[in-house]
Amino acid sequence: MSDFRFTLLSDGSSDQVLSPILVWLLRRQNVTRAIQPAWADLRWLRRPPADLSGRIDLALGLYPCDLLFVHRDAEGAPLAARRAEILGALSDCTEGSAPAVCIVPVRMQEAWLLFNETAIRRAAGNPSGNQPLTMPRMRDLEALPDPKTLLHELLRDASGLHGRRRSRFSVQTGARRIVEFAEDFSPLLELPAFQSPR
């Protein structure tokens, strides 16, 4: 039986953290084949296309797949508008096709990393830390005005570091590691973005 290949086309390189969540979701949808994720890295191209349909065409050409995930943060735009933007770009593509799923966090993907305090502590390198972390409630995650800043502050707090060591702590690395320590993403199913039709 061949592997199940999916490609994630995202807004930026930090959005690669979505891949483990997508693998988990595919397992929930009873995909039993070995899953081979790929992130469509177009940064190495001399002149990557600026428009979404051109980026989708390149992703499909360079990273052939059984399923394409197209990520766009809503960033203040209505979820339906971002979804329509992705669907419109998909209809304009010329490079073959693959079934596609829209991924639209209501604010930005960092909100989806704020659900697991234990994973945040482990990603910060201090799993036994007892520094108080003010975690947002699940129902508030997609209404947070700046989830990225909050996530970075929680990681710094969870690290237990102070002074210069705290300021040098790599919050980007910590954010990427959160998904490595979260085994169950089911709390995210409560969020509107996960309940929206794709």
Residues 71-100: tens digit of each pLDDT: 988 777 788 888 899 999 998 887 667 899
In angstroms, the CA 171 to CA 113 distance is 13
Task: Count the neighbouring beta carbons within 10 Å of the beta carbon of residue 174.
Answer: 22
The pLDDT value given to residue 96: 65
Residues 30 and 85 in one domain: yes
> Which stretches of the chain drop beneath a pLDDT of 70?
1, 95-96, 195-198
pLDDT given for residue 15 in this prediction: 86
The answer to whether residue 198 is domain-embedded is: no
Q: What pLDDT, on the 0 to 100 scale, is given for residue 1? A: 62
pLDDT of residue 157: 96
Q: In the prediction, which pLDDT does 94 show?
A: 75
Residue 100 sits in the same domain as residue 137: no
Q: In whole angstroms, how far apart are CA 113 and each of 15, 125, 154, 178?
A: 11, 16, 11, 7
> Could you give the angle at the alpha carbon of 19 between the alpha carbons of 12 and 60, nearest 5°?
70
Residues 14 and 94 occupy one common structural domain: yes
Q: Does the residue 196 lie in any domain?
A: no
- CA distances to 12, 15, 121, 182, 196 from 73, rounded to whole Å, are 10, 10, 25, 22, 14
- Show the domain range for 155: 109-181
